[in-house]
């Protein structure tokens, strides 16, 4: 549906913001571009919308090459971070604008505007000005305005970043439901990993103008492919190790004189490889006695966090964070052992 | 904030100095005597009647009014596209263009007037009216470009992009989206430009000629021959005109942010 | 894109080039041209800088400009501070009163000083009434009259520049200074003044260049007896019909104003509150 091939974008001559960039979004799919600010995710979106002219490469939408087509002839819906509602027009006039530009008139236009208002639950507010609406309502108008033209592709640029935390959760569900109901192919830009995981069919993690990893939310969350993705997705802990053996899908590791087993390892690893081992704070447990896959630690700090308790522990491999259910055995500062779950140890080669 | 003695003293002096002279004009305008003295003796409205009886003032008032409206309109029609270009594009010579359009503020009005007079004389063919009009348009450019640029910069660029994304070309976007949203800025520029033209002396003094005078020039030449309070009466009317205009503009547009 | 920009900018650029830049260049050319022979000569400038009357007038113009600037700084500084700290609503009204003189017909504005300073004006009548003088003093056509008129005229520009610089100084900073033991005067001198220096420089530049190029006030309050550059220019152009002499004065005036702007641009402090 959307096909980006070998795209290169330069804001400054010779300095690429995006380079050798490839991305495919299938029909009806919601793909989010996730990454920190400056990673090129918004640039990608603006290139697709036509507001950024690429230095080279190709963008096709539904088989039509739009690379050189001006932005006002692309038939792509776009929801801006600031909503960008027209302040001097009413809600209904805002939504009607795209139809007006397409020569849709009279009762046909009124009908489609009314439908769009209904779609976003704003019936009866068509006569208001944007300034008279709440942030969430403005967001819905922006959505309605973008989808009323029945675009082949819908682009959303950090659409929830101006809303408060509670509204963000509600709106994100609504956007997803709307997208599924309309079946519209959607590219969604965000820096919020939870948002990306919750809303997407597929998440594309970007860093410095490159794609780090592309996969289902579960894959991205559970099996980050690179240290960057692991860091960005909130893997709190990692340590360095060396591969000693690879067999039956298990990887044997050596770190600071101790051996560990990890089940997951997508990469081609060979004995002798230097690797990073990542694990989440929930993937480890404190215990009073040593066991397989354990290492001795010193408990430094215990903080109560409601349903869970977080510990900061010191080991030969460095400081780790450990998160355990609140009802488990309590550890006070002092020596203990850290048990690592082999299913949740992520091994990736050092580069 | 606690109002200290300093608050009253400093603001008192400033307002006394700025506005006190105006009160004196008001008082002098109602005096009976035909020489200018203060405090005035008696009370009369003769001098106001005299303002309206003096053809020179009536005629030059209309000249100034038409000149101000026309010059401002033309300066805005020519200047708004420049402001749009400066705020929307980066292009070689951008800084130069910006400087060129701010020059009429940097160059003293008297020098502008003199240079234009000599230029028009040299190349003939210009009648007085068009010379005056051209001179006024030139000095209004900086206001037109600057004030319109300020309001263009205040408009969220993604609003324009939204219109383009929805299928409007640049021209339609400008008229349907940009223009309605910078109305206040355009109006402020218009008022500011009009006042500047209406009050201008240094450029007009060279470009006025027999039969065509702006109001301030007419006032200056009247003062060379007469010392009666007619000018005080006319000044009173003009000050009230300014107060009304400035207050209305300030209330509606926040004029002071553009000055 | 390039075509669009050209369409947008070119008409206005042509206008300003033909009717503004070109005349100025002609004026410049005329100032260095012998009126009879048309040869290149600096005689006009030599005459201007060697003749005592024009020397006096030039120095007077600069001196008055400086005096007026200092008076306006002193008057504007404390008042601007209080204006900048006013609640928005009241400040809007207060500022519109401040800019009123700027928006008023210049002849009307200056005329008041004739009533105040004239032979039978306010000050003479008061002084005579008190028996301090026996006959009316000549107060118009003096340097003092010009200073009063121009200081009033340009005070709003000074206040506008200072207020917009002071608005950007967060009130927290003052409270911090106070909490560290500074009294309100020290706070003003050590915190407000340095942080509003850019507004001061801008305002001073506007007032100074405005004063040395102002026209109406020197005409009415200085006349032909107390000439400044602008009135000298008028005299040469419109009364003596000495075109070259007038262009020389014009070039001196424009050069002085531009030089001041240039010097300030080179040495001006950065806007402190946004640093």
pLDDT tens-place string over residues A17-66? 888 899 999 999 999 999 998 899 999 999 999 999 999 999 999 999 99
CB contact under 8 A, B11 and C254: no
The burial class, CB within 10 Å (0-12 / 13-18 / 19+), for A291 is: exposed
Residue C62 lies in a domain: yes
What pLDDT does A133 receive?
Answer: 94
Domain assignment of residue C125, given as a range = 53-274
Residue C46 lies in a domain: no
Lowest-pLDDT choice from A49-53, B165-169, C2-6: C2-6
Lowest-pLDDT choice from B116-125, C194-203, C246-255: B116-125
CB contact under 8 A, A98 and B159: no
For residue B255, pLDDT over 60 is answered with no
What pLDDT does C237 receive?
Answer: 86
pLDDT tens-digit profile of B176-218? 999 999 998 898 889 889 999 999 999 999 888 777 899 999 9
Interface B-C: count of C-beta contacts within 8 A: 258
What pLDDT does A203 receive?
Answer: 96
For residue B257, pLDDT over 70 is answered with no
Are the beta carbons of C210 and C146 closer than 8 angstroms? no
Buried b (16+ CB within 10 A) or exposed e, C256-268: bbeebeeeeeeee
What pLDDT does A246 receive?
Answer: 86
Q: For chain B, say whether A145 makes contact (Cβ under 8 Å).
A: yes
- DSSP H stretches of helix in chain A: 41-49, 91-101, 106-119, 135-147, 165-182, 193-199, 217-222, 227-232
Distance from CA of B77 to the nearest CA of C (A): 9
**Radius of gyration of chain C measured on its C-alpha atoms:** 23
Identify the bridge partners of residue A276 per DSSP, sorted by sequence position: A240, A348
CA nearest neighbour of A79 among A120, A133, A21, A38? A120
CB count in 10 Å sphere of residue B154: 12
CATH number of residue C108's parent domain? 1.10.3720.10
For residue C243, pLDDT over 90 is answered with no
Query: Which residue in chain B has the smallest CA separation from C220?
Result: B220
- Mean pLDDT throughout C189-213? 90
DSSP string over A82-148: T----TTS-HHHHHHHHHHHTT--HHHHHHHHHHHHHHTT-TT-TTS-GGGS-HHHHHHHHHHHHHT
Residue C253 lies in a domain: yes
Q: How far is residue A293 CA from its own chain's centroid?
A: 32
Token pair, residue A230, equals: 């692991």
Number of domains in chain C: 1
Are the beta carbons of B19 and C97 closer than 8 angstroms? yes
For residue A129, pLDDT over 70 is answered with yes
- Mean pLDDT throughout A326-339? 89
Q: Which residues contact B201 (CB under 8 A, 6 or more apart)?
A: B109, B216, B217, B220, C106, C107, C215, C216
Are the beta carbons of C69 and C152 closer than 8 angstroms? no
Distance from CA of B235 to the nearest CA of C (A): 5
Alpha-carbon distance A182 to A171, whole Å?
16
Identify the bridge partners of residue B130 per DSSP, sorted by sequence position: none
- Mean pLDDT throughout B153-169? 94
The burial class, CB within 10 Å (0-12 / 13-18 / 19+), for B245 is: middle
> Where do the domains of chain B lie, and which CATH numbers do they carry?
54-226 (1.10.3720.10)
What pLDDT does A132 receive?
Answer: 94
For residue A137, pLDDT over 80 is answered with yes
Query: What's the whole-number average pLDDT of chain A?
Result: 91
Query: Which residue in chain C has the smallest CA separation from B253?
Result: C92
- Mean pLDDT throughout C61-77? 96
Neighbouring subunits of A (3+ Cβ pairs under 8 A): B
Position with higher pLDDT, B159 vs A162: B159
Percent of chain C with pLDDT over 70: 97
pLDDT tens-digit profile of C143-195? 999 999 999 999 999 999 999 999 888 888 888 887 887 777 788 888 888 88
For residue A322, pLDDT over 90 is answered with yes
What pLDDT does C273 receive?
Answer: 46
Distance from CA of B185 to the nearest CA of C (A): 17
Q: For chain C, say whether B130 makes contact (Cβ under 8 Å).
A: no
Q: Residue A103's pLDDT band (boundaries 50, 70, 90)?
A: very high
Are the beta carbons of A280 and A236 closer than 8 angstroms? yes
For residue C274, pLDDT over 50 is answered with no
Position with higher pLDDT, C236 vs C189: C236
Distance from CA of A214 to the nearest CA of B (A): 28
Query: Which residue in chain B has the smallest CA separation from A73?
Result: B167
Alpha-carbon distance B42 to B32, whole Å?
5
pLDDT tens-digit profile of A140-156? 999 999 999 999 999 99
Alpha-carbon distance B130 to C65, whole Å?
34
User: CA C135, C138, C139, C143: dihedral to nearest 10 degrees?
Assistant: -150
pLDDT tens-digit profile of B14-38? 999 999 999 988 888 887 776 766 7
- Phi, psi at A59, each rounded to 5°: -125, 120
DSSP string over B170-192: HHHHIIIIIHHHTHHHHHHHHHH
Neighbouring subunits of C (3+ Cβ pairs under 8 A): B
Residue C41 lies in a domain: no
For residue C270, pLDDT over 70 is answered with no
> Which three-class secondary structure state does DSSP give residue C239?
helix
If residue A64 lies in a helix (H) or strand (E), which one and from where to where? strand A64-65
What pLDDT does A265 receive?
Answer: 60
Task: Give A73's contacts in chain B (Cβ within 8 Å).
Answer: 167
Distance from CA of B242 to the nearest CA of C (A): 6
Are the beta carbons of A250 and A261 closer than 8 angstroms? yes
For residue A76, pLDDT over 80 is answered with yes
For residue A248, pLDDT over 60 is answered with yes
Residue C210 lies in a domain: yes
- Phi, psi at A321, each rounded to 5°: -105, 135
CB contact under 8 A, B177 and A86: yes
What pLDDT does C271 receive?
Answer: 56
- Phi, psi at B31, each rounded to 5°: -70, 165
Query: What's the whole-number average pLDDT of chain B?
Result: 87
Token pair, residue C20, equals: 């503004």
Residue C47 lies in a domain: no
- DSSP H stretches of helix in chain C: 2-16, 22-31, 43-50, 52-84, 88-98, 100-103, 106-117, 122-129, 143-167, 171-179, 184-187, 193-195, 197-213, 216-217, 229-234, 243-267
- Phi, psi at A242, each rounded to 5°: -130, 135
Residue C31 lies in a domain: no
Classify the complex by whether its ipTM is higher than 0.85, answering yes or no: yes
How far does chain C reach from its first CA to its final CA, in angstroms?
35
Q: Residue B39's pLDDT band (boundaries 50, 70, 90)?
A: confident
What pLDDT does B256 receive?
Answer: 54
Alpha-carbon distance B256 to C43, whole Å?
46
Residue C219 lies in a domain: yes
What pLDDT does C191 receive?
Answer: 83
What pLDDT does C275 receive?
Answer: 39
Q: Residue B253's pLDDT band (boundaries 50, 70, 90)?
A: low
Position with higher pLDDT, B255 vs C6: C6
Selected for mutation to probe chain A from B162, B171, B178 (highest A CB count within 10 Å) is B162
Are the beta carbons of A141 and A130 closer than 8 angstroms? yes
What is the number of alpha carbons within 13 Å of residue C3 lying toward its C-beta? 0
Lowest-pLDDT choice from A16-25, C58-67, C71-80, C148-157: A16-25
pLDDT tens-digit profile of A251-278? 888 887 888 888 866 667 888 888 899 9
- Mean pLDDT throughout C124-128? 85
Give the residue numbers in B contacting A (CB under 8 Å), as ranges: 156, 158-159, 161-169, 172, 176-177, 180-181
What pLDDT does B1 receive?
Answer: 46
pLDDT tens-digit profile of A193-244? 999 999 999 999 999 989 999 999 999 999 898 999 999 999 999 999 998 8
Q: Which residues contact A287 (CB under 8 A, 6 or more apart)?
A: A294, A336, A337, A338, A339
Which residue from A49, A88, A97 is facing B181, i.e. has the nearest CB? A88
């Amino acid at each position: 549906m959307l096909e980006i091939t070998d795209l290169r974008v330069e804001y400054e001559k010779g300095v690429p913001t995006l380079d050798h960039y490839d991305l495919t979004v299938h029909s009806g799919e919601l793909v989010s571009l996730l990454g920190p600010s400056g990673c090129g995710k918004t640039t990608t979106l603006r290139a697709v919308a036509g507001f950024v002219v690429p230095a080279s490469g190709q963008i096709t939408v539904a088989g039509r090459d739009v690379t050189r087509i001006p932005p006002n002839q692309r038939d792509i819906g776009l929801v801006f971070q600031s909503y960008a509602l027209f302040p001097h027009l009413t809600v209904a006039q805002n939504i009607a604008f795209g139809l007006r530009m397409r020569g849709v008139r009279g009762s046909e236009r009124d009908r489609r505007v009314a439908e769009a208002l209904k779609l976003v639950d704003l019936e009866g507010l068509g006569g208001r000005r944007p300034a008279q609406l709440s942030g969430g309502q403005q967001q819905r108008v922006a959505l309605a305005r973008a989808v009323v033209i029945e675009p082949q592709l819908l682009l959303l640029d950090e659409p929830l970043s101006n809303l408060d935390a509670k509204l963000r959760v509600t709106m994100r569900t609504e956007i997803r439901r709307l997208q599924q109901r309309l079946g519209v192919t959607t590219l969604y830009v965000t820096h919020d990993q939870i948002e990306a995981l919750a809303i997407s069919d597929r998440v594309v993690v970007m860093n410095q103008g490159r794609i780090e990893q592309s996969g289902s939310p579960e894959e991205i969350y559970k099996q980050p492919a690179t240290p960057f993705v692991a860091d960005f997705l909130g893997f709190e802990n990692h340590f360095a190790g060396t591969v000693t053996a690879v067999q039956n899908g298990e990887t044997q590791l050596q770190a600071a004189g101790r051996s560990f087993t990890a089940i997951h390892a997508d990469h081609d690893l060979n004995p002798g490889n230097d690797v990073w081992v990542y694990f989440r704070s929930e993937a480890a447990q404190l215990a009073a006695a040593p066991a397989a896959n354990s290492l001795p630690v010193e408990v430094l700090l215990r903080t109560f966090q409601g349903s869970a308790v977080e510990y900061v522990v010191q080991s030969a491999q460095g400081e780790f964070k450990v998160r355990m259910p609140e009802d488990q055995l309590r550890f006070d500062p002092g020596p203990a052992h850290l048990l690592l779950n082999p299913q949740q140890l992520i091994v990736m080669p050092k580069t | 904030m606690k109002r200290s003695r300093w608050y009253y003293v400093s603001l008192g002096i400033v307002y006394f100095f700025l506005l006190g002279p105006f009160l004196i004009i008001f008082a002098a305008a109602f005096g009976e005597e035909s020489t200018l003295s203060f405090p005035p003796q008696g009370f009369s409205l003769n001098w106001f009647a005299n303002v309206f009886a003096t053809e020179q003032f009536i005629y030059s008032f209309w000249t100034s009014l038409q000149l101000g409206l026309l010059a401002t309109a033309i300066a805005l029609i020519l200047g708004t596209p420049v402001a749009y270009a400066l705020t929307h594009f980066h292009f070689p010579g951008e800084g130069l263009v910006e400087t060129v359009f701010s020059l009429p503020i940097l160059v003293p009005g008297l020098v502008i007037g003199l240079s234009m007079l000599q230029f028009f004389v040299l190349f003939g063919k210009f009648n007085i009216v068009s010379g005056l009009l051209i001179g006024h348009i030139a000095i209004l450019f900086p206001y037109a470009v600057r004030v319109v640029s300020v309001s263009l910069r205040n408009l969220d660029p993604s609003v324009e992009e939204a219109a383009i994304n929805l299928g409007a070309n640049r021209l339609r976007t400008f008229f349907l989206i940009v223009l309605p949203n910078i109305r206040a800025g355009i109006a402020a520029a218009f008022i500011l430009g009009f006042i500047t033209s209406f009050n201008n002396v240094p450029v007009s003094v060279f470009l006025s000629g027999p039969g065509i005078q702006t109001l301030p020039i007419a006032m200056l030449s009247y003062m060379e021959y007469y010392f009666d309070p007619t000018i005080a009466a006319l000044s009173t009317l003009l000050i009230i005109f300014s107060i009304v205009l400035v207050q209305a503009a300030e209330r509606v547009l926040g004029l002071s942010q553009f000055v | 894109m390039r075509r669009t920009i050209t369409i947008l900018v070119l008409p206005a650029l042509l206008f300003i080039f033909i009717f503004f830049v070109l005349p100025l260049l002609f004026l410049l050319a005329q100032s260095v041209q012998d009126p009879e022979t048309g040869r290149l000569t600096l005689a006009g400038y030599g005459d201007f800088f060697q003749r005592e009357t024009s020397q006096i007038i030039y120095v007077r113009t600069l001196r008055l400009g400086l005096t007026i600037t200092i008076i306006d700084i002193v008057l504007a500084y404390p008042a601007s501070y209080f204006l900048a700290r006013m609640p928005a609503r009241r400040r809007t009204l207060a500022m519109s009163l401040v800019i009123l003189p700027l928006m008023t017909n210049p002849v009307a504005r200056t005329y008041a000083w004739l009533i105040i300073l004239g032979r039978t004006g306010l000050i003479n009548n008061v002084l005579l009434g008190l028996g301090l003088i026996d006959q009316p003093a000549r107060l118009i056509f003096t340097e003092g009259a010009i200073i009063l008129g121009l200081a009033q005229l340009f005070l709003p520009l000074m206040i506008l520049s200072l207020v917009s610089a002071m608005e950007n100084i967060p009130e927290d900073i003052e409270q911090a200074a106070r909490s560290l033991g500074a009294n309100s005067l020290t706070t003003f001198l050590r915190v407000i003044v340095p942080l509003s220096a850019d507004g001061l420089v801008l305002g001073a530049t506007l007032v100074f260049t405005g004063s040395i190029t102002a026209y109406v006030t020197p005409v009415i309050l200085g006349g032909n007896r107390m000439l400044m550059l602008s009135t000298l220019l008028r005299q040469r152009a419109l009364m003596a019909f000495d075109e070259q002499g007038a262009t020389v004065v014009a070039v001196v005036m424009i050069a002085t104003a531009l030089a001041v702007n240039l010097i300030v641009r080179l040495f001006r402090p950065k806007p402190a509150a946004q640093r």
